[in-house]
Amino acid sequence: MNGIRRSDIAPGRRVLIVLKKDQRTGRLTPGVVKEILTRSPTHPHGIKVRLESGEIGRVTEILD
C-alpha cells in the first residue's frame, strides 16, 4: 500500500519513509508513525509523518 492517502496511515503503523535529505537517492527509512503532519486527505508525494525516532519524511509504503 502506498502512502498518498491520509486515511490509510495512523499512529503506530509501520511504514517506509523518504527523508528530505534522501529524496534524490530515494533511500528508504523504516519506522513507526508517531504523528501525521500532512493536513490534506491526499498528497501526490506521500503523507508527511514524524516517526517515533523523531525523523520526519514522506510515506512511500505502509508495511502493516
Q: Is the pLDDT of residue 64 over 90?
A: no
C-alpha cell at 47: 503523507
Cell of 12: 503506530
Residue 39, sorted as left (phi over 0), alpha (psi -120 to 50) or beta, turns out to be alpha
Q: Based on the number of CB atoms within 10 Å of its own CB, is 20 exposed (0-12), middle (13-18) or buried (19 or more)? A: exposed
Residue 55 pLDDT grade (very low, low, confident, very high; cuts 50, 70, 90): very high
For 25-48, how does the pLDDT look when each residue is reduced to its tens digit (9 = 90+)?
Answer: 999 999 999 999 999 999 999 999
State pLDDT tens for residues 2-15: 899 999 999 999 99
